[in-house]
Structure 1
Amino acid sequence: MRIITTDGFGGPEVLRVGEAPRPVPRPGEVLVRVVAAGVNRPDVQQRRGLYPPPPEASPILGLDVAGVVEAVGAEVNGLAPGDAVCALVNGGGYAEFAVVPAGQCMLVPRGLSFIEAASLPEVFCTAWSNIVWLAQLDQGETLLVQGGSSGVGLAAIQIARHICSAKVFATAGSDEKRQVCLEAGAAAALDYRGAWAEELRGLTGGAGVDVILDGQAGPNTQVQLDLLKRGGRLVFIASHQGETAEVNIRQLVRRHLVVAGSTLRPRSTAYKSRLARELVERVWPVLEDGRIRTRLHAALPFEQVREAHEILDANRQIGKVVLVVDGELGASVPAPSVG
């Protein structure tokens, strides 16, 4: 099968099309013929040598796919060859075939194409696990999403707005990106290069927010803690602006603040399977009725993987970038699967 491989670590130039044996599903796994694969920030970090795959995970890049079940391993129930699925994979998505734990597969939402479905698993799983499970965002609370026009950011805004019934604020770096945040459901979208903290205090009558979802950290950490209400939660999903920060511990204690962080890829199959089930139960119906939407920045042919990574390197993306592995099936809307 064709795969995307790397010649060492570095920029997009290290990526190229190569070949590898087709994987064989083990008990509890399915083999998916990949139609489209999502491109995510962790892929960029792995390409740079900063995010090694967990033990036993495929070294091939790619954390979410959409396609057709080709074969099922022993002990798999509820999935059959021919089912149209999208899946959160542990690695190996940039390939014509990928093996996936069966529990991490989700039937493609009705009305969505394979390309659209490939944009869902990583960003919606990340958003749900962090703002719903970890931060426990509740009805009527307020959420600040830093970098709201990213794939995770747009998923978080919509989940918070349409499922958690929360009020959402977002930051983004351009007028176009801020407008997209507003269209996704943010009450206000602020320039993260400006006085966004002061603006948020004004917008909340000085109260601040209950939850902040952030991937930057570094020097903004204490600024964000200052914005939290009593009992507020600051959740990190990355630390792009710095791995360390000086914070006021006394403030944490006296104001009952919570600082947490998480990554999704090293989580257990049981955790990811439970997450997938909850997305299908809670998010898929809202996707299918159109209240929540996925936004594609670009869908590029498999061979243009370098161009896909260049978009993320330059932070140009608004929503999700997807690689189209099978051009004939890519834009098609699969018939509903019986399962």
Structure 2
Amino acid sequence: MGYTYRDSGVDIEAGNSAVELMKPAVKRTMRPEVLGGLGGFGGLFALDLKKFSDPVLVSGTDGVGTKLRLAFQMNRHDTIGQDAVAMCVNDILVQGAEPLFFLDYLAVGKLDPERVASIVAGVAKGCELAGCALIGGETAEMPGFYPEDEYDVAGFSVGAVNRENLIDGSKIQEGDVLIGLPSSGFHSNGYSLVRKIFAQYPMDTVFPELGEPLGDALLRPTRIYVKTILKLLEKNEILGMAHITGGGLTENIPRVLPEGLGLRISKSSWEVPALFTLIKRLGEIEASEMYRTFNMGIGFVMIVHPNQVKTIQEQLLNLGEKSYVIGEVTQGKGVEYV
């Protein structure tokens, strides 16, 4: 008898089984605009032209990075998909776009249907939190390319915003105020440094300042800010926004500023979570390196008119969201920490 595809390491039946296992989680993300179901060659989405009369489509793509190594190490795969969604939908949210749909790409060394279903369940949870539909994806079994117990996950999201509501930072002026929303930890950035510093500690280590196993703190998924920000945009003008990812506060917020403007950030305006002070101490990391590598406890930043600060913070409180006034826009360039 001749060779089969399965002999080479690719199991088509396992792939079919994985699709069946993931269907209930995917179904929970559906929106009325989705046409058809899971399994087509392309995902179909009919844009609501009553809601978006002059639509601009905004897209974003990303992966999870080396945070995946911790998922492998801990054999915990049900949250990492939320990270993949968050890194995309938070990015397109910055321009005022509502995420409409998401597609994921999962490449594995050996297809384990239950593990794949667990990963995709995390993707689906992220989509639910963002209000977007998981309309398709790809699971590729690649024996000999990835080790059997490893995988990579990435994806992309497409959103829409009416042209008149597009947020590009062009209205930002000196004196405008920065409002920061808390992160849940490192999110999905800086993990090459994180893993280097914590490599000698078992994931069940409980540092007194954390009060929980190290692995739980490190694997906690990225927050998704979509529903909170979209609610604010219904009633308020937000001049600019930044998702604090690779590059930290230092690199990300200036990306939305007009030429000739900089930032003054007060480091005492929020309490930096213990996870960040712990890694700074263990790694003897300089403060400047911390702020240009990590989010330091602030995962998303809005820039608003000074006279809107009180109103927006009250609305955030009513939405169950903490917020901090962390700084202001200044003349000049770059970020000054005080």
The structure with the greater share of residues assigned to helix is: 2
The structure number with the bigger radius of gyration is: 2
Aligning the two structures, in what range does the TM-score lie when normalised by the shorter sequence?
under 0.3
Return the TM-score normalized by structure 1: 0.25
